[in-house]
Amino acid sequence: MIDIRKIRVVPDFPDAGIQFYDITTLLNDANAYEQVFLSLLDTAKQIQPDVIVALESRGYYFGPAIALNLHLPFVPIRKKGKLPFTTYQECYNLEYGQAEIEIHTDAMNKGLSVLLVDDVLATGGTARAACKLLQRFKPRALSTLFLLELKDLHGREQLSGYPVHTLLSV
């Protein structure tokens, strides 16, 4: 059983009224990090994806390790302006502000089973935008996997039609 108290809650970060779930405290505990990784890996195995995609930047704490362990290709989704080749882009609203994410146009073949990984499902805006980006590749299946779901923010509703897997929820 993963102990939610390993994640530090920082009030009013980055703006007043936001409860920020800071997973650096979990990453700093080798046993907790390993336990979380193994649980995510277990779920990923059951999904049987062809490719692992993760969101910059905290999705990178888990996504690449899952891809390596399952011997699958890894695809990064990055914030605007970071990817060097031609990209698809999506704008979206955050709990705190607006943002744009990108993926390389040659990131994957069409028709794959795709697993999208991130640390926290908050409002769901980021993951929804990522799913829109991934639809460009006409995946035959698209699932999402998060360490933590913040239920009050109803992110799951933004992802209707896509399976949502989470290890923890508050």
Nearer to ligand AMP among residue 9 and residue 38 (C-beta): 9
CB of 71 to ligand AMP, least distance (A): 26
Per the DSSP assignment, residues forming a β-bridge with 118 are 146
* Distance in angstroms (rounded) separating the CA atoms of residues 158 and 72: 27
Pick the closest to residue 118 from 48, 58, 32, 37 (CA basis). 58
Restricting to residues 74-103, which ones interact with ligand AMP according to CB under 6 A? 94-95
From candidates 36, 115, 123, 130, binder to ligand AMP by CB under 6 A: 123
Nearer to ligand AMP, 95 or 137 (CB): 95
Choice from 66, 75, 103, 121 touching ligand AMP (CB under 6 A): 121
Q: Is 58 a catalytic residue?
A: yes
Among 90, 102, 118, 149, the residue binding ligand AMP under the rule CB under 6 A is 118
The residue range among 39-47, 66-74, 81-89, 125-133 that interacts with ligand AMP, by the rule CB under 6 A, is 125-133
- The length of the chain in residues reads 170
The smaller minimum CB distance to ligand AMP, of residues 63 and 155, is found at: 155
For residue 75, give the nearest of 46, 47, 37, 106 by alpha carbon.
Answer: 106
Helix H or strand E encompassing 65: helix 63-70
SS3 57: coil
Rg (Cα) of the chain, in Å, rounded?
15
Residue corresponding to tokens 């698809």: 88
- Whether the Cβ atoms of residue 26 and residue 2 lie closer than 8 Å to each other: no
Q: Judged by CB under 6 A, does residue 18 bind ligand AMP?
A: yes
- How many residues make contact with ligand AMP (CB under 6 A)? 20
Name the residues annotated as catalytic: 58, 95
Query: Would you tell me which residues interact with ligand AMP (CB under 6 A)?
Result: 18-21, 55, 58, 94-95, 118-127, 150, 155
